[in-house]
Structure formats: C-alpha cells, structure tokens
Structure 1
Amino acid sequence: MSTPTTNVLVFSHRPEVRESIITAIGRRPAPDLGRLHYIEVGTVADVLSEVDAGHVDLVILDGEAQPTGGMGVSRQLKNEIRQCPPVVVAVRRKDDRWLATWSQADAVLVHPLDPLAAAETVAEVLRSRGNPVPA
C-alpha cells in the first residue's frame, strides 16, 4: 500500500526561489503527515489552472514574484475559488507580514527560510485544513 501524498503548488517566477522553498520545507514536514509532491509553476496562469483543476492541497506563493506578487494572487484565489486550498505566502521582510494578512493567506514564511520553522508552519497549515494526510 502506498502512502498518500499531498500536492503542494509552489509559485515564483524565479526557479531558485521555488527551489529554496522546497528545500526548506522538505518532502515530509512532520512525522504525522504524508509525503509532499511539489508542483512548481512560474506564472499566475499556471497557478490558476492548477488550483481550478482541483489538483492542489496547499499553495505556497512567493510574495516578491514578478510581475504579479504572491500576495495579490493569494487574495484573488481566496476571493474567487469556492473551495480554495490553504495558502502560504513567503515574504522577504518580517515587516511585510501585515500584507500577508491583507492577502488572506493562512500562514507566512519569511526569507531567509529557516527549515525547522518552514516545515512546522506548513505542517500546522496542513493539519488545520481538517483532513491531514495520514502517515
């Protein structure tokens, strides 16, 4: 029997930012959760397509993405997708956390990413969605 996986969409126009997010969180952020499968996208159109298709359990957005930042994308998803998956926004400065509140994000990561804090934040968000993937 295979272990269920959680599909995590990671959006940034910069591949190195996507890689740093994935590396910080890891493939299994907590022992009580299943493995994560990452879907990397570089455009807002790809974010919308994947979320609309229902393929995503968690969305992680780069708040500094260009030309459209993750905070605006988060707000759009939360306001337009009926059953929007949880959203985490990665910001560059602690002072930008208030913007993530405006964006209706479920959680915030701050660069430089601390692997322990990033994994725990993602694990908490996945647990709080009401149906954590069993180990």
Structure 2
Amino acid sequence: MPSTATVLVYSDDSNTREQVRLATGRRPASDVPEVRFVECATPQAVLKELDRGGIDVCVLDGEAVPEGGMGVCRQIKDEIFRCPPVLLLMGRPQDAWLATWSRAEAAVTLPIDPAEFADALAALLRSQLSVDA
C-alpha cells in the first residue's frame, strides 16, 4: 500500500473544501493510506492538476459556481485518459440522477456527513489502489 493517496478537491467555496478535509482527517479508514489534498477553486485548475497526473480520487462540488462539479465530472470523464474515480457532493438527494448522468462513481449530499463521506472516499480509494496494484 502506498504511504499517501492524493485527493483533488474542487469547490469555489473554501468552507466546502475545509469540510472535505475535516471529514477525511489524516485518512478516511484504517486500511487506506494517509491523504494529501490538492485543492482547486476553478475548473481550469482541475484540468491542469489532472493533466499533471498523480491524482487518486477527485471530490467535486456539484454546487460550485460558475461551473458545477457535475458538469466538470462529465467533462473530465470524456477528456482525461484513465480519469480517477469521482466522489460528487450534491445539494439534494433528488440530484442522484444527475450524479449518474455525470458518471461519478459515488455521491453524498451537502452538508457533509463526516461518517458517510469518509466511507464513500475510503471505498473509492480502495477501488483505485486495487486497480493500481
């Protein structure tokens, strides 16, 4: 198991990015590596970081402005070779169909429930690390 996993967090709201960091802690579960965060406030920064490589999981804010995480998710799934799995933050449970449309691997609702978020992130990290092994 690698010593760290890199999680990209996209939101125009620094409070949402902080919620993600706090809900994750040093690691979301004992059987996954410690997490290092790469924070992005714009879709352009997301694309730049993904082009650079080394991202294990993306957390995208579906409520981000001016471009929401659902649209960004669909774009990166189309444009990024071997795109990392995406955990989408949704404003409402009724938006689950949009998460499916965007091709996100997982989704949780805002405000972030730390236990639900950590479980979802850990599951994506496990799946990604088993693919890389």
Question: Shorter-chain TM-score: what band?
Answer: over 0.9
Report the Cα distance in structure 2 between the residues aligned to 1:97 and 1:117, rounded to whole angstroms. 15
Gaps in structure 1 of 5+ consecutive residues = none
Give the TM-score normalised by structure 2.
0.93
| CA positional deviation for 1:55 | 2.6
Any runs of at least 4 consecutive aligned residues in structure 1 with deviations exceeding 6 A, and if so which? none
Which residue matches 1:53? 52
> Secondary structure at the residue paired with 2:104?
coil
Report the Cα distance in structure 1 between the residues aligned to 2:26 and 2:131, rounded to whole angstroms. 15
Q: Deviations over 1:14-64 (max 9, x none)?
A: 111111122122221111111000111101111000001113111000001
Report the Cα distance in structure 2 between the residues aligned to 1:130 and 1:19, rounded to whole angstroms. 24
> Secondary structure at the residue paired with 1:33?
coil
Give the TM-score normalised by structure 1.
0.92
Please, which moves more after superposition, 123-132 or 18-27? 123-132
Which residue matches 1:131? 130
Which residue matches 2:74? 75
CA-atom RMSD in angstroms: 1.7
Q: Which amino acid aligns with 1:10?
A: V
Matched-pair contact (CA < 8 Å) for 2:12–2:41: yes
Report the Cα distance in structure 2 between the residues aligned to 1:61 and 1:92, rounded to whole angstroms. 12
The 5-angstrom pairing of residues 4-83 of structure 1 reads: 4-83=3-82
> Secondary structure at the residue paired with 1:126?
helix
> Between Structure 1 and Structure 2, which shows a larger proportion of helix residues?
2
